[in-house]
Structure 1
Amino acid sequence: MTFPERFSDLPDYAFPRLRKLLSGSAPGGEVIDMTIGEPRHLMPDFVGKILARNVAGFARYPPNDGTPELLGAIGGWLSRRYGVTVDPATQVMALNGTREGLFNAVVALCPERKNGRQPVVLVPNPFYQVYAVAALAVQAEPVYVPATAATGFLPDYAALPAEVLERTAIAFVCSPSNPQGAVADGTYWKTLLELAERHDFHVFADECYSEIHRDTPPPGALEVAQEVGADPERVVIFHSLSKRSNLPGLRSGFVASGPECSARIRKLRAYAGAPLPLPLQRVAEQAWSDEDHVRASLALYRQKYRLADGIFADLPGYRGPEGGFFLWLPVADGEAAALRAYEKAGVRVLPGAYLGRSAGGENPGKGYVRVAMVADLDELQRGLCRLRDCLDVK
């Protein structure tokens, strides 16, 4: 059997590419890995206790959509965090990690034709790679839209030609963005919602880093949609406990939208989704209900922002993230910088081009490296200082 042609031009995933890049080199010191966005702050102390109380739940098939208690906890969090009112039973669905949800929502909601032609899925560039793979899976055309310093590191979808917008079925936005750490403000969301209404497409808001930010919590797409009276079916939001609660291994997230979109996603997931085991749903229920552990983790990330701002204060073009836990550092060439950082300092960082795609002959990630600020403060300081001292800047 041959690999489907529409996937033939997919590059290898970022981390195998990095291993290949570094495979012939020796580290120039203690290896400090700053590549993977895996939170290392303490997970909430209630996790083990809840698992122990509910271990018998592993002997039962779990509810595919999420227990009523979990869906209610998510609905309560949306109300407290964003002032958004949803019906948990018809507008919220639990996910086994948001990557699964992002992919399946495209399958469920992207039409086979848009205005009689191949549909378009708009993808910010650089981007979380599942966006493009999901578009290809449904035989839509992924259109990679630069999210660069010139556009505030968010995609300017309104600048696209009308011909593209008329074929657009879905537009992805990540806020705070991975990898650049940019935040979509209320004006950005309102402009995008107006564009979506005018050209009849869905806005997929990947908000997994929403609880990691500097001073002001980022607004949410569903929040702004409610403020301006937009159709809730227009917006599909995705959230996760991986970053918010330092529980990446729990594989727990959710998707929320209007009742019609939610029903279509739920119907597909009944056939193709992997439900979250019942004991893990009980943990997730408590995690969405508790803010103390979120505040403690956020305080640590704010220390990391201050640390990075001080270390890279003299780096030309440095821009500290507004949210999330990645640094997006400008360099002359991302691959060369990543190789040099490993060989000279033992620091592993990710070339920005591995997160982007060449469009119009240019990969907007080429002149950057992504640095994950997930280690403890001491290790992070050592790694950032070593990295600073060996960077070849633009």
Structure 2
Amino acid sequence: MTTKAWRADRLSKLGSSIFSEVAEWKREAQQQGLDVIDLSIGSPDLPPSESIKRSLSEAVLRDTAYAYPGSKGSKGFLQQAAEWLKYRFDIQVDPELELLSLMGSQDGLGHLALALCNPGDIALVPDPGYPVYAAGLALAGVEPYYMPLRAENGFLPDFTAIPDEVWSKAKFMLLNYPSNPVSAVADLSFFSKAVAIAKQHNVLIVHDLAYSEMAFDGYRPPSILQVEGAVEIAVEFHSLSKSFNMAGCRIGFLAGNQHAVSALGALKANIDYGIFLPVQEAGIEALKQDMSGQHPSVGLLYERRRDALLHALHQEGWDIASPKATMFVWAQLPPMTWSLSDPWNSRRISREMLNRAGVAVIPGDAFGMEGEGYVRIALVENEQRLIEAARRIGRFIRGE
């Protein structure tokens, strides 16, 4: 009997499986007795605040908490999200028409192309970019047009380099500032240019603002919706995962253009029943706490970690540009003083760094062709552990 291929061809288009690949590298290293310092996955290592945990625990004890929550989101959560956007960015959105709750921003990013596009449409996406950007397009049969992000341009796309025929076929353009993996930032002047050219070509802007609260040195990331008229042409993803250490809770929201929000909402209404109500209660508490000024800044925590790691790596001979935001360091490959039979590249260095030094990072090529020559380092350990990682990396660089 011939076995059917119980696996869709589209799965082969989902891009890099680097996260599972690095997980396997880690298992192998640990089996050899290595103490692995895992700086690969951007998962917060601290819990939410006590009041957020208390809000969640009290809510789960209510008998009414176990009904279907509704795919759009509770009125209380959407209203609180609207109030937080007003507080944080001084923008006004209609919670009924211009907001949609999500099981984390990745939920929305993975499904958005299915809601907005037809097979064969084009979407403009950054390279390097977070893998779900391309994965969502692959699932929807949408063709990606990659906008290269390079250091000489501050890791910003060059809109003038995109051909008119691409603009004419594009449905949306995906931006992400502060960005993952390159940790670049953008100001309102950049977003104003983006809105202007998007209106010119009638292309929706999709802005991923998951790292809005993880900024350093006094920098405050803006929202694209602060640009006058942006709501006519843009939507923006927000996440509570990193800002409030709620990654496992899976809660975020989409804000902006009501037609795009409605389209994603219509799709979501057919594939899930929304976020567990106690998680939405915890989300309300997180946003309220932030607005009260009582929430300890995650930005300050990651700023200290950034400074500790980069100072220690500098002492080891690896100088890296200091990011202004996110929980990542985007690092050009270190100056190796020894070589192997095969040339060094991002993946080879990442593998050898784990095998020889017990430090796990993600190779830059996992995020796109433009990522070759870099590795992404996540600031997900305490300062002493990061300093220890730098010392190990220094010995690795020197071939000791």
TM-score by length of 1: 0.89
Q: Is the 8 A contact 1:32 1:346 kept in 2?
A: yes
Give the 5 Å matches for 1:1-394: 2=5, 3-20=7-24, 29-55=34-60, 56=62, 57-111=64-118, 118-214=120-216, 215-224=218-227, 228-230=228-230, 232-291=231-290, 292=293, 294-313=295-314, 318-331=320-333, 332-356=344-368, 363-391=369-397
Please give the alpha-carbon distance, in whole angstroms, between the structure 1 residues aligned to 2:274 and 2:215. Answer: 30
**Kindly tell me: are residues 44 and 21 of structure 1, through their superposed partners in 2, closer, same or farther at Cα, counting changes over 3 Å?**
closer
Superposed CA deviations along residues 235-277 of structure 1, whole A, max 9, x for unmatched, are 1100111100011011000001122222222122111234111
Q: Deviations over 1:30-62 (max 9, x none)?
A: 211110000113411113321232222442211
**Segment drifting more, 42-51 vs 321-330:** 42-51
Indicate conservation of the 8 Å contact 1:308/1:320, yes or no. Answer: no
With over 3 angstroms needed to count, the CA separation of the structure-2 counterparts of 1:184 and 1:334, relative to structure 1, is: same
Maintained 8 Å contact 1:28/1:346? no
Partners of 2:267 and 2:80 lie apart in 1 by 23
Structure 1: unaligned runs, 5 residues or longer: 113-117, 357-362
SS of the residue 1:303 aligns to: helix
Aligned to 2:339: none
**Residues 337, 89 of structure 1: alpha-carbon distance in 2 compared, 3 angstrom cutoff:** same
Cα distance change on mapping 1:388 and 1:88 into 2, 3 Å: farther
Cα deviations by residue, 1:88-147 (Å, 9 ceiling, x for unpaired): 1111111111111112222212245xxxxx321111111111111211222211112211
Aligned to 1:360: none
Once the two structures are superposed, residues 353-372 of structure 1 have per-residue CA deviations (whole angstroms, 9 ceiling, x without a partner) of 1121xxxxxx2112111110
In 1, the alpha carbon distance for the partners of 2:395 and 2:173 equals: 39
Whichever residue aligns with residue 184 of structure 1, its letter is A
Secondary structure of 1:328's counterpart equals strand
Write out per-residue CA displacement over residues 300-340 of structure 1, whole angstroms, 9 at most, x where no aligned residue: 11111221331234756621112101111111521121122
Query: Structure 1's 23 and 69: CA in aligned 2 closer, same or farther, altered over 3 A?
Result: closer
8 Å contact from structure 1 (residues 337, 391) kept in 2: no
Q: Which amino acid aligns with 2:94?
A: D
Find the residue that maps to 1:242 and give its secondary structure: coil
For residues 217-249 of structure 1, the C-alpha deviation after alignment (integer angstroms, 9 at most, x for no partner) is: 11111112xxx334x131110011110001101
* SS of alignment partner, residue 392 of structure 2: helix
* Structure 2 CA distance for partners of 1:20 and 1:41, relative to 1, 3 Å: closer
The SS at the match of 2:97 is: helix
Question: Could you list the per-position Cα deviations for residues 143-191 of structure 1 after superposition, in whole angstroms to 9, with x for gaps in the alignment?
Answer: 1221121221232233111111111111111111101100121121111
Kindly tell me: are residues 40 and 316 of structure 1, through their superposed partners in 2, closer, same or farther at Cα, counting changes over 3 Å?
Answer: closer
**Structure 1 residue 197: Cα displacement:** 0.8
In terms of mean alpha carbon deviation, does 284-293 or 122-131 score higher? 284-293
Q: Report the Cα distance in structure 2 between the residues aligned to 1:176 and 1:364, rounded to whole angstroms.
A: 18
CA RMSD of aligned residues (A): 2.2
Contact 2:203 / 2:233 at 8 angstroms: preserved in 1? yes
Q: Residues 223 and 295 of structure 1: is their aligned pair in 2 closer, same or farther, counting only changes over 3 Å?
A: farther
| Greater Cα offset, 1-10 or 85-94 | 1-10
Q: TM-score by structure 2 length?
A: 0.88
Distance of aligned partners of 1:9 and 1:139 in 2 relative to their CA distance in 1, 3 Å threshold: closer
Question: Amino acid of the residue matched to residue 335 of structure 1?
Answer: R
Judge conservation of contact 2:14–2:138 (CA < 8 Å) in 1: no
Change (3 A) 1:180 1:267: same
- 2:266 is paired with a residue of what secondary structure? helix
Alpha carbons 1:63, 1:278 under 8 Å: kept: no
Aligned partners of 1:98 and 1:254 also within 8 Å: yes
CA separation of 1:119/1:294 partners in 2, compared to 1, >3 Å: closer, same or farther?
Answer: farther
Distance 1:80 1:392, change over 3 A: farther
In the alignment, the residues of structure 1 paired with residue 240 and residue 106 of structure 2 have an alpha-carbon distance, to the nearest angstrom, of 12
**What residue ranges of structure 2 are gaps of 5+ in the alignment?**
334-343
How big is the shift at 1:194?
1.1
